[in-house]
Amino acid sequence: MIAVEGLTRRYVGFTAVDDVSFTARPGRVTGFLGPNGAGKSTTLRILVGLSAATSGTATVDGRRYVDLPDPGREVGVLLDPSAQHVGRTGRETLTIAQRFMGLPRSRVEEMLALVGLTAQESSRRVRDYSLGMRQRLGIATALLGDPAVLVLDEPANGLDPAGIRWMRGLLRDFADRGGTVLLSSHLIHEIEVVADDLVVLAGGRVVARGPKADLLAAAGPAADGGGLEQLFLDLTEGALT
């Protein structure tokens, strides 16, 4: 389980994340929604120890991420598919992660097969990868250590419709087998079809959270026509004005 409590990150002149609290539970996909610049990525970076919080805590199964002995085995992370060395081949990129985690070599081929990168594609340099291929490589890296928790930032970006459907099935299946998925996106439809719980962020603050069904029901008739999209716009515009 992921637990974020009172998380705040201030920069000079503005507060990117403002007293954010939520949980992401096992067996459920938690959609992390918000417009651009709402603080989603900053929250996720703090969660995995890439940025420091000004105050508040973020834990995975009760421990800070940086205190996990071999974090790749417990939490699969994909924050930015372009954050890879372009001079490495896709297979080599995975091999590096496999070595850091001390996994058997066979795991690399298994993951390449799982995300649908062919032998020929995985031998090419990441420089020559499309965004969709980088996204698949990032998913492979995240799943490599067979973690129980997934933290993904906009994983559908750059995927074609078939890829998006594949990703949806993968996340659904992962959660149905008891895994925890924290999935950030600004694509409302993607979240709507796959998420069980929602956390909506706007201007660095949580403006709504809870089971998706409850949020939609509480929104009442206003949300009926546009569904989650209308609810999202109502929530986030309200927070910004």
Of 204 and 232, CB closest to other proteins: 204
234 binds other proteins per the rule CB under 8 A:
no
Beta bridge partners of 48: none
User: 25-36 as b/e, with b when 16 or more CB fall inside 10 Å?
Assistant: eeebbbbbbbbe
Phi, psi of 115 (to 5 degrees): -90, 0
Site for other proteins in 169-208 (CB under 8 A): 170, 173-174, 177-179
Distance CA 190, CA 187 (A): 6
Q: Give the range of 146-154, 187-195, 209-217, 224-232 binding other proteins by CB under 8 A.
A: 146-154
* Least distance from other proteins to the Cβ atom of residue 181, Å: 9
128 binds other proteins per the rule CB under 8 A:
no
Q: Give the range of 32-40, 70-78, 213-221, 222-230 binding other proteins by CB under 8 A.
A: 70-78
35 binds other proteins per the rule CB under 8 A:
no
79 binds other proteins per the rule CB under 8 A:
yes
149 binds other proteins per the rule CB under 8 A:
yes
The answer to whether the beta carbons of residues 73 and 22 sit under 8 Å apart is no
What six digits make up the tokens of 131? 């965004």
Q: Which of 147, 148, 144, 149 is nearest to 106 (CA)?
A: 144
